[in-house]
Structures are given as C-alpha cells and as structure tokens.
Amino acid sequence: MAQRVVSIGSRSGLHARPAANFVQAAAQAPVPVTIAIDGKPPVHAGSLLGVMTLGAGYGDQVTLTAEGDQAEAALEELAALLSKELDA
C-alpha cells in the first residue's frame, strides 16, 4: 500500500473547482485512490461529494492512499496536483 501526505495548495481548499479538478484526475488514475483528513474516515478520491465532505482547507494535510502496481506513480501525480493552486 502506497501513501502520500500532502498540504492543500488551493487558497479555497478542496471546494468547487479545485475539488472537481482533483476528482477528475483521481477518477482517471489506474488504481483506486482514497483521500483522508485527520479525524475523518477516508473517501474515494473519485467522488466529488466525498471529497467535498472532507472540508479540507488551504494548508490542511490530507493522506492519499492507493494499492496496486501503479499506486506510487498515481499518488505522485495526485499529490503534485493537490499542492498547486487549482482555483485559477
């Protein structure tokens, strides 16, 4: 199982456009990915509703988890995406 901890780079957090951009990328990942924030259970990263219910704000740390042959590469790409400003 691969994991990455990343800080949210979008000033508006994972809401609306940034969440949609992330979810779209996660849904295209070759392996299932979950995302979690401390104190809340992990949710499927390809679910817009699930990701938005996390309430992750700017600077919050989230944990991405995936399993499978391409898990490391998928998490690397998604972690890089989350660390950027996605609301531009």
Q: Sorting pLDDT into bands at 50, 70 and 90, what band is 77? A: very high
Q: What pLDDT is stored for residue 39 in this prediction?
A: 84
Of the candidates 15, 44, 68, 72, the residue annotated as catalytic is: 15
CATH code for residues 2-82: 3.30.1340.10
pTM of the prediction? 0.94
Rounded to whole angstroms, how far apart are CA atoms 43 and 37?
A: 9
**% of the chain residues with pLDDT over 90:** 93
Q: Is 44 a catalytic residue?
A: no
The CA distance from 15 to 31, in Å, is: 23
Classify the phi-psi angles of 78: left when phi > 0, otherwise alpha if psi is within -120 to 50, otherwise beta.
alpha
Q: How large is the average pLDDT for residues 19-31? A: 96
pLDDT for 18 equals 94
